[in-house]
Structure 1
């Protein structure tokens, strides 16, 4: 097996993770994605094919402009980014319970290689779990012998193996891909060059081993057998200090991505909007036509609005785009808005219409995806801290990092409504999803048609800040 080998479930998720990455970046990344996210129409493909032939009335550049104009008219909504910001804002109000022995106290405020503390690390993990469903963590020591937690992205952990170790299913191999500055930094000091190397962590004769290999599988550094208390090889570790934080649990397998449904809806909205705005463009720009003119005839223009003076027996008119499908496109875009709003609300708080007491009982169990992510993220951080404690010769039971999410009804409702309203009210979309959210949190028990009458009549509607 080559060092570049990938776990099948990892390979299956690469495109999904890239899609989520682009969905978070927003319009710039989606537009740069070109036909990956917005396929060309059959007419555009035919125009480019025609432009490549001899004696074509179109140049190659003119044919390309058809797709560029089509793409630029499309609208990609920022639903994923806005919803993630709302959710992290809700999570950031939770204060972790942190208990560390004196020798590990520095980790509370400097736990990562870039100098951030445990709470910031926790929020990073939550963010990645919401958008990728996965966050690999590695316990490490720096050159000065200080512990820290190295973080990797879902895309940089291509391979892992587990096997029965002492009656448990433990990691026996983990491969991380890393970008490393080439020796000398490259020819241009202002444009450094990087190469991909692989950090291979495994167990050999029940001893933790670390190797750095190139893409050919050849070692580029001496292998190490990190041991207890500062790396002494006389007492090597007998486990791999890696935790794969996940959206549902912390086993190494790839978990689901909570915000993926919303990202899919945003991308479909983007594709529909390209057709919708193209149709509006053609509707607003009718094509003029003239018939009955001879070779020597000329058109005279008069008046401030450039009226045409035609020769005798000549006719003129406009070919207008009827746009019969425009309303269907708009309805389909609304459906995607509603689907995104529903998925965002479910990540925060799931369940249908219910009585106040039933809702309180269900919220006491906290079955939402956001709650699950908070728990697994906190457990992953605590497990890494326990690994470090053991590594340093400290009793792991002296370490605590716990988050018991206690979102108040008001906080959850406000966050849920913020996600829903950002999406539904971002366009002229049906407000059924927003009305359902208002009923769910107890701000109204009126039906949709009654709420519509109130809104159209200018009566006071339940406000978001009342949640």
Structure 2
């Protein structure tokens, strides 16, 4: 089979991921995809008679439709909650630089964590790959969900583990430095005789980068120890197995799309009630009507007659109610923090927000575990003890307030050397004190960070 082959689960979920891509991009993307708004039968028949001449009917129908950005706004609200979280990070001494430079574009572990949480919320799946650059330093790459096209799981040392992972990548077309077109290639990770190999293949099947083993190398650039696993993690919304997880915001996206479809009829109906259609009959052959409007008068001749066909709009209210039902359905999905005033009781709002926090709780925990596993892969690749790696996040979304009296007492304790300045500053910025054992706190008192000094 060709390298473009896809996993059956990928085929089953690609439509959902593409829907989420459009939902997050917004109204422009929704309207560019005609599948999102089916043509009414009358417009289909009109285009059969004259496709070019009657094309404007569907264009006007689409232009009047309105897509609500509930998904994008909800994601922003959720990330506002997540941005308050502070990861606990511990790395081997030789990997400290990873904390501030962990991604292929130069951002640190905290920013990588936020990126992964965002994608886990919006698509339910974050393909994470651990790699080593030309200087021998580890870094992480994440792929768009739709670009992780194939994977296989097989028996490895008595356990079920990844044996194949294929990703789509895009490379610049270097023939024109001002051109933004990219060529598509396929990066393949696979197990060969118990060692992970990587290669890059073009769309036509030619080899761009020959298959080579991944692992630690010696001074003469010879492979010392090959990786006995694929450095690939499929982070999900509920767990980190390669199987596809549910998309947390999918219910909201579907409600927003249905509201968009209803709005096309709703606003078209409003337009038609405001523009009644004139009709005339009994005109002499010599009478020509070429102008209409409030500034025009018609001479219909002695036998002419004119009246209006008015659109009564009987279904307008039903459409408006159906759009409101879709909005309520989106809110009930528990994925958006918003104040809906009198339409929702305080207890209902509390229940909905607690449900959202539960969803975020599982996502934050899952992403932190995936990232910690990735860092451990990098540590093992570099020859460090992976057990020294810690990356944990406590999903506490309600930040306690800062008590002025407690802050004063902590300041005095920091100045007296009873607690570290770092612990005092953490309380001021988050309202929380770190959970440390006595020895760790004493070490921070004995070896303070100059940047955390209290003056």
- TM-score w.r.t. the length of structure 2 is 0.79
1:155 aligns with 2:146: yes
Alpha carbons 1:258, 1:347 under 8 Å: kept = no
Matches within 5 A, 1:306-345: 306=296, 311-312=301-302, 314-345=304-335
Q: Distance in 2 between matches of 1:277 and 1:332?
A: 13
Matches within 5 A, 1:19-418: 19-33=19-33, 35-51=34-50, 60-182=51-173, 185-186=174-175, 188-228=176-216, 232-296=222-286, 306=296, 311-312=301-302, 314-345=304-335, 368-408=358-398
Q: Distance in 1 between matches of 2:249 and 2:101?
A: 30
2:60 is paired with a residue of what secondary structure?
helix
Match of 1:452 in 2: none
Gaps of 5+ in 2: 339-343, 402-455
Q: Distance in 2 between matches of 1:114 and 1:105?
A: 17
Cα 1:219/1:310, change in 2 over 3 Å: closer
Alpha carbons 1:346, 1:368 under 8 Å: kept = no
Kindly state the Cα deviation for residue 406 of structure 1 after the two structures are TM-superposed. 1.1
1:340 is paired with a residue of what secondary structure?
helix
Superposed CA RMSD: 3.0
Alpha carbons 2:195, 2:227 under 8 Å: kept = yes
Across the two proteins, how many residue pairs are aligned to each other?
Answer: 391
Q: Distance in 2 between matches of 1:409 and 1:108?
A: 24
Alpha carbons 1:128, 1:134 under 8 Å: kept = yes
Query: How far does the alpha carbon of each residue in 1:131-179 deviate from its partner, in whole angstroms, 9 at most, with x for none?
Result: 1111111111111111101111111111111122223221111111211
Q: Distance in 1 between matches of 2:145 and 2:189?
A: 17
Alpha carbons 1:389, 1:396 under 8 Å: kept = yes
1:252 is paired with a residue of what secondary structure?
coil
Cα 1:298/1:369, change in 2 over 3 Å: closer
Query: How far does the alpha carbon of each residue in 1:302-341 deviate from its partner, in whole angstroms, 9 at most, with x for none?
Result: xx86565654454322110111111111111111111111
Match of 1:425 in 2: none
Q: Distance in 2 between matches of 1:283 and 1:192?
A: 46
Alpha carbons 1:259, 1:347 under 8 Å: kept = no
Cα 1:89/1:342, change in 2 over 3 Å: same
Cα 1:345/1:214, change in 2 over 3 Å: closer
Match of 2:2 in 1: 2
Alpha carbons 1:207, 1:237 under 8 Å: kept = yes
- TM-score w.r.t. the length of structure 1 is 0.77
Match of 1:419 in 2: none
Query: How far does the alpha carbon of each residue in 1:22-55 deviate from its partner, in whole angstroms, 9 at most, with x for none?
Result: 110001111111x21111111111111111xxxx
Alpha carbons 1:3, 1:216 under 8 Å: kept = no
Kindly state the Cα deviation for residue 211 of structure 1 after the two structures are TM-superposed. 1.6
Query: How far does the alpha carbon of each residue in 1:413-442 deviate from its partner, in whole angstroms, 9 at most, with x for none?
Result: xxxxxxxxxxxxxxxxxxxxxxxxxxxxxx
2:210 is paired with a residue of what secondary structure?
coil
Q: Distance in 2 between matches of 1:268 and 1:366?
A: 22
Gaps of 5+ in 1: 52-59, 412-467
1:36 is paired with a residue of what secondary structure?
helix
Alpha carbons 1:247, 1:255 under 8 Å: kept = yes
